[in-house]
Structure 1
Amino acid sequence: MTEPRTRLALLTPHGVEASHADALVEAVRRACATADVAAVILRLAPADERSLVNLVKRIVPAGEDRSAAFLVACGGYAGDLVSVAARGGADGVHLDKPAQGALRDLRGRLADGRILGAGGLESKHLAMEAGEAGVDYVMFGGLYPDGVAPEPETVLARTQWWVEIFETPCIAVAHAASQLEELATTEAEFLGLESALWMDEGVDLAAVQALLAAREPTS
């Protein structure tokens, strides 16, 4: 029986605003045309709900013809992120460093197959709590808003631990090209790419796709 292949998840820069939308849409289209993109995590700057909904509506069509899922993240937003995602046409929400009980609350409100993901999980205990809350994936690695990222060795070890024990899918995020090959060996369901790797003059996505394809089981 063939095991699921590793697919790509694209992370936008933090603080995406309306002025960034056109460039982001073009980058998403290029990426989806080049590689097997499963998801795009939109890390938006806080604004009023109407502005956020309109921004999501501008971006989501960029990957629709490739069946990429769009997840809305908005650190510091005090409003209803579920409403933003639903009204904007996104597929779900992503929460970093979730507060106590936040994931269970969102899980209860995200119906009709909408996706809930969690990142910024700085301990194994927090990752397991997220899994118990019913998230559709956990994410290890990725830049924080201040530009700092977990150590690559920690991301690799945490991903290997999760894949070996748990059934909930995970995204293993690379913020530098040097991480790609090792993370591709983990058999994580998704390889996450920070924006510097897939936007502008980042890595060759076709080469990344070839790297993942080379590791797929043949039977």
Structure 2
Amino acid sequence: MNQTPAPNRCRIVLIASPHVPESRVRAALSGGDVASLILDAGGLDEAAFQAFAEQVVPAAQAAGVAVVIAGDSRIAGRVHADGLHVEAGKDELADAIERHQARMMVGAGGAKTRDDALELGEERPDYIFFGRFGYDTKPEPHARNLALGAWWSEMIEIPCIVMAGADLASAEAVAATGAEFVALSAAVFSEGVDPAAAVAEANALLDRTAPRFGA
């Protein structure tokens, strides 16, 4: 169950796809503080993705976790998600914000450079995401994502999420950038990992090492 109030430091965002059994997502949510959960189709078709979301969204929301649907506004609406994640250029992001931001958060991904990020930021998304779903295959975070997260956190008020690596310890490097959120996926949902224990361990690590905001 999530802590109340939310900790004043970098918080966890989980990323899951239908390749992760719904029971493992529920287990992860029981492990401690989780700010939000981004659901990605993982290459599966619309029907499979929606069926997965229909199982996960109510459980996550009941645990106090906001759920964001990646890339499909129709599914986001059908399952009453809290947000929409858009991996696209400025025009498509602007359109999504105009259509949907009044009723759900709209976040932006896909920025690979500072110029990309600033262009997306001009549309005022609710957050910007540095990293790519499914690419957290190495123990450490991608150096470019860490650099972008550190620069963005220092310069821009819009919150950012930075993708961690496959090792839980990589959450510490993300928190050190000043990012508001660290995204965990493989570190929590890989085969052989106990999702609840992984989330608990990640929160303990952040409690010990993450900078406090406003300190």
The answer to whether the superposition gives a TM-score over 0.5 is: yes
Q: In the alignment, which residue of structure 2 is the partner of 1:205? A: 199
Q: In the alignment, which residue of structure 2 is the partner of 1:61? A: 58
Q: In the alignment, which residue of structure 2 is the partner of 1:10? A: 14
2:35 is paired with a residue of what secondary structure? strand
State the shift of 1:62 in Å: 2.4
The CA RMSD over aligned residues, in Å, is 2.8
1:78-112 deviations in Å (ceiling 9; x for gaps): xxx2222011121121122x134000000001144
What are the residue-to-residue correspondences of 1:88-99 with 2, within 5 Å?
88-96=79-87, 98-99=88-89
Q: In the alignment, which residue of structure 1 is the partner of 2:4? A: none
Q: In the alignment, which residue of structure 2 is the partner of 1:154? A: 144
* TM-aligned CA distance change 1:70 to 1:29, over 3 Å: same
State the shift of 1:130 in Å: 1.4
* TM-aligned CA distance change 1:30 to 1:128, over 3 Å: same
Q: TM-score, normalized by length of structure 2?
A: 0.81
> How far apart, in 2, do the equivalents of 1:144 and 1:120 lie?
13
**Identity over the aligned pairs, expressed in percent?**
31
Q: TM-score, normalized by length of structure 1?
A: 0.80
> How far apart, in 2, do the equivalents of 1:179 and 1:153 lie?
11
- Residues 1:26 and 2:23 are matched in the alignment: yes
Q: In the alignment, which residue of structure 2 is the partner of 1:171? A: 161
Q: In the alignment, which residue of structure 1 is the partner of 2:212? A: 217
Q: In the alignment, which residue of structure 1 is the partner of 2:3? A: none
1:71 is paired with a residue of what secondary structure? strand
Q: Which residues of structure 2 form unaligned runs of 5+?
A: 1-6
> How far apart, in 1, do the equivalents of 2:130 and 2:101 lie?
25
State the shift of 1:113 in Å: 4.1
2:81 is paired with a residue of what secondary structure? coil
Q: Which residues of structure 1 form unaligned runs of 5+?
A: 75-80
